[in-house]
Amino acid sequence: MKMQVVFRKGERLRHIGHLDLMRAMQRALRRSGLPVKYSQGFNPHILLSFAAPLAVGIAGEREVMEVPLDTPVSTEDFLNKLNAVLPPELACVAARQVDDLHPAPMAALFAAAYRIVPAENAEAFQAAAAEFLARDRYMATHRTKSGEKQIDLRPLVFNLVAKPEGLHAVLSLNQSGTCKPDLLIAALSDVKHIPVPACRVTRTRLLNNLLVPLENA
Amino acid sequence: MNLEMNARLDRLLDRVEKPARYVGAEVGAVAKPLEKGMGTFAFCFPDTYEIAMSHLGMKVLYDVLNRDADLVCERVCMPWSDMADLLRQEGVPLFSLETRTPLRDFQVVGFTLQYEMSYTNILEMLDLGHIPVLASGRAEDMPIVIAGGPCAFNPEPLAPFIDAFVLGDGETATLEIAHAVRGLRAKNARREDILMALAQMPGVYVPRFYEPAYRADGTLAAFEPIRSDVPARIKKRIERDLNLAPYPETMVVPYAEAVHDRIVLEIMRGCTRGCRFCQAGMLYRPVRERSVERLMDLAEKLVAATGYEEISLSSLSSGDYSQLSELVKQLTERFSAQRVGVSLPSMRLDTLVGQTLADSAQVRKGGLTLAPEAGTQRLRDVINKGVTEDDLKNAVSDAFQNGWNSVKLYFMLGLPTENDDDLTAIGDLAKLVEDAYYQVPKGQRAPGLRITVSAATFVPKPFTPFQWCAQDTLPEIGRKQALLRGALKRKSVTFNWHEPELSFLEACFARGDRRMADVLLQAWKLGCRLDGWQQHFRYDLWLQAFADQGVDASFYANRERGQDELLPWDFIDAGVTKGYLAREYQRALDGAVTPDCRDGCQGCGLQGIAGACAP
């Protein structure tokens, strides 16, 4: 069986990279004594899969990972044992047992919700959201390892809502197209002709193609 | 740190390379409130987080101090240049990893001195921490700045910057200092009185109470206390029994990967081999072992507390640990089911036995590192590295038969009495290793032989038989490196060498006196920092600093000292006597090998310390 786990990457740890986070989780699982599965080979490592890597600088409220287990463990037991050895900033908030045939979280992932809080120009920035949504298309330059690419951001942005605690954004995150938060931030600044503000970004939910949180699907 | 400062610091992290270095909040990190009345200690590592978190001494002292209910110890590392610049620009003081407390707010600021070329980082960290770099400029309420570690055995190049040095083993001494400072601060004692109290403690050197005098030729004429109530000679501290000495039962598990990211078990301290170039081998005497029982107990607790997948056995020469095969056997039996590997760095190639290799390879196969140190038997005898070509051949043959395909060989270039034949012989040794590999039948050996040969430039160090020796000049080192490159042109061999300029400066500081402090201060003012990192090393600025201060670098690096010369570190009693070192130097020049002192006392000086040496 597998355990699907919802955990947080707290504000204090938002500068930790994905590989660092993965290593931290593996070591926590080793401390927990839970019946995890190991890979074969000379340097065996714990089998573990994450729905989506979280970039350096971004906190996560409900991140999803999947832990294959050798023997069944109740969710309550699992959460107690793992949280006992995890720092509060990486606490698991929920878990559920799924059978081995349940699609991997990575495969079900379609979009992610973010909360974006600009350090300055908050009002202009939030007003830009409505203007952006009113457009048919918005061409942006996407820099990748292989060079620069023009992409239309508009269809990759599913929703933008200005809320008192920050801008709520639902952005595409799948193989056919991904809008990273920094691309959206640059686009919104461009729409209002304001300098790109430093932003505090938090990923609040990971969603499937019905925009339902993975953990509920 | 107040909330506003904390928020500013937090925003800085969005703008720097590898921000995970500055995050803290790791598993195993201490979260004690810094309450009034607590003795507060900032353990400062003068290099980046990844290096700091690999260092055993920090883990040990962090644990020792934090176990004490009245004390709290937090870590501070050298920020990378981008962060250092931002801190300065934004007026944010250098802070601790745990509670982000400014360096300035600790009672004691303690640096570990592992490497001479990290000295500019000490000045940079003090300055970033809003503490005057010169001890004489520190106000009454400012932290007491102390330093310890191997480089403290020649403290003079740092004398104007450090309030007090601690010599020798740090476990008990550091605790005593932290308590003393806490107690005196509680009574509002004056800074001068605190330093005076420290100067009375065994193993503590307070440089402001001592003064050197020089002869016209620049050598030391005298070095004496300027007041009668401080000791003229400072004796290093020794932890007598490692089984009773404190050892951490948990370790900080960093998020950002450290250079050595694993459990470290110190199995033994000290070494009896007596290699004549090796400062650690002299400084960490006498040899003391931890029992297998104690080590198994520590391993159990550390594996549970950290979740690490590797245990590394640490000592200067692990093959000399008397219970090594028993320990490795018990560790692998106990932990292989949990997939915890055991690694054995620091193995001498004459003690690498097939079974140990096979044991340690059972779970994890790392690289194999061997240190013949010199190319010919003649030169190996001079340095008293008692290994032979046969030892090397047997060790690598064993390794290749056990499935290794990569070997690292460490050598030194510029050793006393070295000639060109000694260097070309290094090429012959590489060939010997290659032959040993091809003698294992195809199919039985792991494919893809890789031999890495590293040649460090020899740096003469205090408290070694070579403390009187001249270092080769830079042009001579360049010539020898070229010669060696030629001797190592083989497909399977990669040749690494160190920047000779860095070793030259290291030599200046290793045996420098207080006048080197002026050079250090000037170099830092000119912008030198992170010198150990190639991208930051500015030899041109260092040359300018020497010129600005009118100091001749070759006086320190390239001059053979007379046997009767007063050396800047002669006031320190490191256990080994100057007579023993002189005797060993003469034997080196005679090419005479000195046996391991467990096979007969060589009278190094430690025998004078009651109970120090095993009978």
CA distances from B483 to B258, B426, B457, B474, B503 (A): 35, 11, 14, 14, 18
Please list every residue in chain A whose beta carbon sits closer than 8 Å to the beta carbon of residue B307. Answer: 26-31, 85
**Range A2-106: architecture per CATH:** 2-Layer Sandwich (3.30)
Q: Which two tokens stand for residue B554?
A: 């070759």
Please list every residue in chain A whose beta carbon sits closer than 8 Å to the beta carbon of residue B11. Answer: 119, 198
Paired sense of beta strands B288-289 and A166-174, if any: unpaired
Confidence label for B362 from pLDDT (cuts 50, 70 and 90): very low
Cα nearest neighbour of A43 on chain B: B364
Residues 62-81 of A with CB under 8 A from B: none
What integer pLDDT is reported at residue B609 of this predicted model?
A: 75
Out of A12, A42, A44, closest to residue B25 by CB: A12
Q: Which two tokens stand for residue A140?
A: 């942006």
Strands of chain A (E only): list them: 2-9, 49-50, 59-68, 92-98, 111-118, 139-144, 147-152, 157-163, 166-174, 177-178, 199-207
Confidence label for B358 from pLDDT (cuts 50, 70 and 90): low
Task: Kindly report the nearest CA distance between residue B142 and chain A, in angstroms.
Answer: 30
What integer pLDDT is reported at residue B348 of this predicted model?
A: 64
Taking an 8 Å cut-off on Cβ atoms, the answer to whether B14 and A57 are in contact is yes
Please list every residue in chain A whose beta carbon sits closer than 8 Å to the beta carbon of residue B22. Answer: 15
Task: Kindly report the nearest CA distance between residue B343 and chain A, in angstroms.
Answer: 13
Q: Say yes or no to pLDDT of B153 above 90.
A: yes
Whole-prediction pTM: 0.94
Taking an 8 Å cut-off on Cβ atoms, the answer to whether A24 and B27 are in contact is yes
Task: Kindly report the nearest CA distance between residue B265 and chain A, in angstroms.
Answer: 18
Give the mean pLDDT of B246-273: 94
What integer pLDDT is reported at residue B363 of this predicted model?
A: 39
**Range B3-168+170-233: architecture per CATH:** 3-Layer(aba) Sandwich (3.40)
Q: What is the dihedral of CA A199, A202, A206, A210, to 10 degrees?
A: -50
- Residue whose tokens read 């002299």: B282
Mean pLDDT score of chain B: 93
Paired sense of beta strands B572-573 and B234-235, if any: parallel
Q: Which two tokens stand for residue B603?
A: 């009278």
Q: Cα(B313)–Cα(B266) distance, rounded to whole angstroms?
A: 6
What integer pLDDT is reported at residue B366 of this predicted model?
A: 58
What is the phi/psi pair of residue A151, to 5°? Answer: -130, 150
What integer pLDDT is reported at residue B115 of this predicted model?
A: 96
Q: Does B257 touch chain A if contact means CB atoms closer than 8 Å?
A: yes
Out of B11, B19, B256, closest to residue A198 by CB: B11
Q: Say yes or no to pLDDT of B610 above 80.
A: no
Residues 109-148 of A with CB under 8 A from B: 119
Taking an 8 Å cut-off on Cβ atoms, the answer to whether A57 and B339 are in contact is no
CB-neighbour burial class of residue A98 (10 A; exposed 0-12, middle 13-18, buried 19+): middle
Q: Does B536 touch chain A if contact means CB atoms closer than 8 Å?
A: no
Q: Cα(B445)–Cα(B435) distance, rounded to whole angstroms?
A: 13
Q: Which residue in A30, A37, A199 has the most chain B C-beta atoms within 10 A of its own C-beta, making it the best mutation to test that interface? A: A30
Taking an 8 Å cut-off on Cβ atoms, the answer to whether B20 and A38 are in contact is no
What integer pLDDT is reported at residue B364 of this predicted model?
A: 47
Out of B20, B253, B256, closest to residue A27 by CB: B253
pLDDT tens, position by position, B2-17: 677 788 888 899 999 9
What integer pLDDT is reported at residue B5 of this predicted model?
A: 79
Give the mean pLDDT of B66-79: 97
What integer pLDDT is reported at residue B352 of this predicted model?
A: 54
Q: Does B470 touch chain A if contact means CB atoms closer than 8 Å?
A: no
Give the count of Cβ contacts less than 8 A between chain A and B: 65
Comparing B258 with A61, the larger pLDDT belongs to: A61
Helix axes B389-401 and B354-361, enclosed angle (nearest 10): 40
Taking an 8 Å cut-off on Cβ atoms, the answer to whether B19 and A42 are in contact is no
What integer pLDDT is reported at residue B401 of this predicted model?
A: 87
Least confident interval from A101-110, B65-74, B158-167, B525-534: A101-110
Q: Say yes or no to pLDDT of B315 above 90.
A: yes
Q: Does A56 touch chain B if contact means CB atoms closer than 8 Å?
A: yes
Confidence label for B611 from pLDDT (cuts 50, 70 and 90): low
Confidence label for B156 from pLDDT (cuts 50, 70 and 90): very high
Task: Kindly report the nearest CA distance between residue B68 and chain A, in angstroms.
Answer: 23
Q: Cα(B582)–Cα(B570) distance, rounded to whole angstroms?
A: 13
Q: Cα(B170)–Cα(B108) distance, rounded to whole angstroms?
A: 15
Task: Kindly report the nearest CA distance between residue B341 and chain A, in angstroms.
Answer: 9
Residue B128 near residue B88, CB atoms below 8 Å: yes
CA-nearest of B585, B579, B588, B582 to B607 is B579
pLDDT tens, position by position, B161-198: 999 999 999 999 999 999 999 999 999 999 999 999 99
The one-digit pLDDT tens for each residue of chain A (217 residues) are 999 999 999 999 999 999 999 999 999 999 999 999 999 877 788 999 999 999 999 999 999 999 999 999 999 999 999 999 999 999 999 999 998 888 888 999 999 999 999 988 888 988 999 999 999 999 998 887 788 889 999 999 999 999 999 999 999 999 989 999 999 999 999 999 999 999 999 999 999 999 999 998 8
Q: Cα(B68)–Cα(B73) distance, rounded to whole angstroms?
A: 10
Q: Say yes or no to pLDDT of B81 above 50.
A: yes
pLDDT tens, position by position, A46-94: 999 999 999 999 999 999 999 999 999 999 999 999 999 999 999 999 9
Please list every residue in chain A whose beta carbon sits closer than 8 Å to the beta carbon of residue B365. Answer: 42
Q: Does B552 touch chain A if contact means CB atoms closer than 8 Å?
A: no
Taking an 8 Å cut-off on Cβ atoms, the answer to whether A12 and B304 are in contact is no
Residues 6-35 of B with CB under 8 A from A: 11, 13-14, 19-20, 22-23, 25-27
Least confident interval from A90-104, B64-78, B528-542: A90-104
Q: Does B249 touch chain A if contact means CB atoms closer than 8 Å?
A: no
How many Cβ atoms from other residues are within 10 Å of residue A86's Cβ? Answer: 22
User: For the residues of B154-193, what is the DSSP string, one character each?
Assistant: S-GGGTTT-SEEE-B--HHHHHHHHHHHHHHHHTT--HHH
Q: Does A84 touch chain B if contact means CB atoms closer than 8 Å?
A: no
Q: Cα(B249)–Cα(B263) distance, rounded to whole angstroms?
A: 10
Please list every residue in chain A whose beta carbon sits closer than 8 Å to the beta carbon of residue B23. Answer: 12-13, 15-16
